[in-house]
Structure 1
Amino acid sequence: MAPRHSADSTAAKSALRDQVLAGRKHRPLDAAADVAASISRVALAWAPVRDAATVAAYVSVGSEPGTGLLLDALVAAGKRVLLPVVLPGLDLDWAVYAGRDSLAPAVRGLLEPTGERLGVDAVGQADLVLVPGVAVSSTGDRLGQGGGCYDRALPRVTPGTPVAVVLYDDEVGLAVPTDPHDVRVGFAMTAGGVVALTTTAG
């Protein structure tokens, strides 16, 4: 079942999303590699990453903070990396990342792994989950691209597993409109470091 949104929250989310994405388009292209390298360094220095055997992550596209270096660094560090595969109903299946040659173009301009599908519940195997986003509030309210994929997938994450949204520094701590189905995240990861968010029951 698709998440239900109120008209007010939908409009507010769209306005904030448009604002942030417009800002991303104006970021210097020559800084993208530095951001990706910094995010990789930040991630590998974070204790939950160091301690994880399996990490659920994703392939960045477009103007998103780059995750390509991070994915390869995780594999080089001996981690099992799970990547999402978008299903027709916008739920997420998962497959193991086996290097950049194992990725193929998919729906919504994404790159997805071509390996064996592990099922929608495979994200529950992860010791750490890294998710994309557009913005996050100081209390962990995450704004995504609007498809609701992660609102479907995150309830399957094992309770207590760290979940971090990967963003630019100035996209953390914004006032994010919410709906009852929205799933909060516990951390924001940026090129500047990892920020613990004050999540509350909701």
Structure 2
Amino acid sequence: MVDNVATLDKAGLRAQLLAARRSVAEDVRAREAQALTDLMGSIVTGADTVCAYVPVNAEPGSIDMLDVLRHRAGRVLLPVARTTDDDIPLALRWGEYRPGRLVTARFGLLEPPEPWLPPSALAQAVLVLVPALAVDRRGVRLGRGRGFYDRSLVYRNPNARLVAVIRDQELVDELPFEPHDVLMTHALTPRRGLLTLGSACPADTGRE
């Protein structure tokens, strides 16, 4: 649980959320990862392109999620994170997920090997799973602060579902908002399933 969200800045929130994730017992983490994997089949509705990512370290989920998505959607694109020579994050490029062919990259990430697609490939996806440390009920997402997704989501299909994958405790009432923030349309949590976000959105579509 995140304490005193309203009084913490983004750096303080990130530190608290990361510490909470690191404290989760391995058996709890495994159960939550399995629950998220089980939910993947219900959020993909047809043979479409899906953009996802490989959960690493204490991030919720597992690579098993990608296998389910690939089976249901047929095409899963994963992000490729790179920076300029001055270490400024670039918009993410994308590579197709193929089981057993991921490579270790910078920041401890797992990425698809070349060939890669340009940032504009994101527009092909009808569903985008987005890593997050927390999301609020308006759809405001708190990431790790590097800005890769801030630079990338401008290429999204405006009709795509943007789904922040989080633990149940990481859905909060309100997070700091900045004008460049792209709002998530949904959150996905192990117990609640797929939740619709935003004051103008209909009621939750997941399990309570």
**TM-score of the pair, normalised by structure 1:** 0.88
Q: Which residue of 2 aligns with 1:42?
A: 39
Q: 2:45 is paired with a residue of what secondary structure?
A: helix
Task: Tell me the alpha carbon deviations over residues 90-123 of structure 1, each in whole angstroms, 9 at most, x when there is no partner.
Answer: 2200000011x21111111111111311111111
1:7 matched residue in structure 2: none
What per-residue deviation string (whole Å, max 9, x for no partner) do you get for residues 58-77 of structure 1? 00111000231110111223
Residue 63 of structure 2 is aligned to residue 64 of structure 1:
no
In structure 1, list runs of 5 or more residues that go unmatched: 1-10
- Tell me, which stretches of 5 or more residues in structure 2 are unaligned? 1-7, 201-208
Q: Which has the higher contact order (CA 8 A, sep 6+)?
A: 1
Among all aligned residue pairs of Structure 1 and Structure 2, give the percentage whose two residues are the same amino acid: 40
In 2: Cα distance, 1:115 partner to 1:183 partner: 28
The answer to whether structure 1 residue 76 and structure 2 residue 75 are counterparts is no
Q: Compute the displacement of 1:52 (Å).
A: 5.0
1:78-97 to structure 2, matched below 5 A, reads 78-88=73-83, 89-90=88-89, 91-97=91-97
Contact 1:36-1:65 within 8 A present in 2 as well: yes
RMSD: 1.7
**Residue number in structure 2 paired with 1:26:** 23
If the length of structure 2 is used for normalisation, what is the TM-score? 0.85
Q: Per-residue displacement from partner, 1:141-196 (whole Å, max 9, x unpaired)? A: 00000011111111111111111000000101242112111111100001121111
Relative to 1, partners in 2 of residues 1:127 and 1:52: Cα closer, same or farther, differing over 3 Å? farther
- Whichever residue aligns with residue 21 of structure 1, its letter is L
**Residue-by-residue CA offset, 1:14-46 (whole Å, 9 max, x unaligned):** 111111111111111122222111111112112
Question: Larger % of helix: which?
Answer: 1
Count, aligned residues: 188
Distance, in Å, in 2 between the alignment partners of 1:130 and 1:120 is 15
Answer whether contact 1:120 1:153 (CA < 8 A) is retained.
Answer: yes
Aligned to 1:195: 195
Determine the C-alpha separation between the residues in 2 that align with 1:186 and 1:78.
Answer: 20
